[in-house]
Amino acid sequence: MKRTVLLLLSAFLCSVAFAQVDEGRDLSKYADDKFGLDDQYTVATPYETVTVGPVKSRRIKNVIVLIGDGMGLEQISVGWVLNGGHLNMDNFQVTGGSRTYATDKLITDSSAGGTAIATGVKTKCGYIGIGLDGKPVSSLLHHAQALGKKTGVVVSCRINDATPADFVCHSDDRHEEAAIAAQYVDSGVDFISGGGRKFWEGRQDGRNLIEEMKERGYTFVDTDEDLKKVESGKLLGLFAPLDMPPVLDRGPILEDSAVKALELLDNKKGFFLMIEGSQIDDWGHRHKIGHVAEELFEFDRIVGKVLEWAEKDGHTLVIVTADHATGGLTLIDGSIEDRSVKVHFSTKGHNGIVVPVFAYGPHADEFTGVYENAELSAKIRRLMK
């Protein structure tokens, strides 16, 4: 496919350039209001979407939160056009809106935005799982553990990056990545999948966190092939030294990790699982609409698989939302029939619009309206028993 070749070449060039400049993902500081490159995209072959019906039960056993990092309604709209007017997210009959601002800035970063979703506490940019007083706050994942549920985190960025860490760790500086990674060792999280292997081995403190996790009973995998072989128990998957490559380079590892998490976490007491489409945000920062679209497509395909699983299970609440939107994206031209778009990016940073909340399953009706991102977390916590 032409789009595959072009995107792979673009991804390679971008990865080389960014590897030489900055290993970090906190790119909001680079906002400069320049019109971006790669502002047009066409999809030759759309993917098929699924259709699910409502569930009758009001009992919640499992909670799955899917976060599209940097995914506002504008990114979703672009994806909908490019896939010919169809997304798996179209299945959601219950919708709401989440305000994303932090306590110290109108335009949040993923640390504060993710902490609010994870814990129900609004906080400062750069803070991971702590409140304004600098003290740790309990997340939805910690609440699930206290209830005896299994837990999991699946991402395509480094596992110690802001959003996944917001659910597991505590820090007053998101850039203390080695220290944040070390907190996973005693976290008790049953399923961990993402990138960032360089923070787990070859560390300056001499620790090998992978070996420490193995000693705690985790199966370690670093390939999709080995992931698929795991049939039970706790799992640690680290599939890249830093963040994973773009989706057309990395293959279906995020999708396969999400499916494997559903398989391994399912149990009588239930589970809490957070899945992040991490790189929708990355490519929005870089003004690459083709990459934004492909990352969103993968996220939406995962949404479809989760919805099908939840429909069959009947006792699973599914929430899809975002920590913030990225890029000041505007859809200015295109065609549903031709599956093409032309867009404009107004910033290389984040923007402060309300982001969507989609809900499916038992008590989904309680997520309508517009509310604070912290209230979204509070709603989930009240329902998770």
The CB density around residue 97, as the number of other CB atoms within 10 Å, is: 18
Tell whether the model's pLDDT for residue 242 goes beyond 70. yes
Listing DSSP states for 333-370 in one string gives EEETTTTEEEEEE--SSEE---EEEEEESTTGGGG-EE
Region 75-89 average pLDDT: 98
Domain assignment present for 28:
no
Domain assignment present for 26:
no
The helix (run of H) or strand (run of E) holding residue 264 is helix 253-265
Residue 142: CB partners within 8 Å, gap ≥ 6? none
Sequence letter at residue 287: H
Catalytic site includes residue 257: no
Distance from C-alpha of 21 to C-alpha of 18, rounded to nearest angstrom:
5
Tell whether the model's pLDDT for residue 18 goes beyond 60. no
Tell whether the model's pLDDT for residue 321 goes beyond 70. yes
Domain assignment present for 24:
no
Region 73-86 average pLDDT: 98
Distance from C-alpha of 123 to C-alpha of 142, rounded to nearest angstrom:
18
Region 144-166 average pLDDT: 98
Q: Among 38-42, 313-317, 371-375, which stretch is predicted with the lowest mean pLDDT?
A: 38-42
Write the pLDDT tens digit of every residue in 113-129: 999 999 999 999 999 99
At residue 30, the pLDDT reads 34
Distance from C-alpha of 144 to C-alpha of 101, rounded to nearest angstrom:
26
Structure tokens at 198: 């360089």
Distance from C-alpha of 235 to C-alpha of 240, rounded to nearest angstrom:
16
Q: What angle do CA 171, 234, 127 make, to 5 degrees?
A: 10
Identify which has the larger pLDDT, 2 or 356. Answer: 356
Residues 140 and 63 sit within 8 Å (Cβ to Cβ): yes
The helix (run of H) or strand (run of E) holding residue 258 is helix 253-265
Q: Determine if residue 370 is left, alpha or beta; phi over 0 gives left, psi from -120 to 50 gives alpha, anything else beta.
A: beta
At residue 38, the pLDDT reads 77
Which single residue is written with the structure tokens 């790119």? Answer: 27
Listing DSSP states for 5-61 in one string gives HHHHHHHHHHHHHHHHH-----GGGG---PPPS--EEE-SSPPP----PPP------
Structure tokens at 236: 């640690």
Q: Which of 10, 28, 98, 110 is catalytic?
A: 110
Domain assignment present for 20:
no
Strand-pair partners of 153: 192, 274
Region 197-213 average pLDDT: 97
At residue 54, the pLDDT reads 95
Domain assignment present for 23:
no
Q: Give the CATH number of the domain where residue 231 resides.
A: 3.40.720.10
Please state, rounded to an integer, the average pLDDT across all residues of the chain.
92
Provide the angle, in degrees to the nearest 10, between the axes of the packed helices 289-313 and 73-82. Answer: 90
Report residue 3's pLDDT band, with 50, 70 and 90 as the boundaries.
Answer: low
Q: Which residue intervals of 134-252 are DSSP H helices?
A: 140-146, 162-168, 177-182, 209-215, 224-229, 247-250
Distance from C-alpha of 79 to C-alpha of 85, rounded to nearest angstrom:
8
Domain assignment present for 19:
no
Distance from C-alpha of 218 to C-alpha of 272, rounded to nearest angstrom:
18
Domain assignment present for 127:
yes
Query: Within the chain, how many helices (H) and strands (E) appear?
Result: 13, 15
Structure tokens at 119: 């814990």
**How many domains does the chain contain in total?**
1
For residue 138, the enclosing domain spans: 2-14+34-383
Domain assignment present for 231:
yes
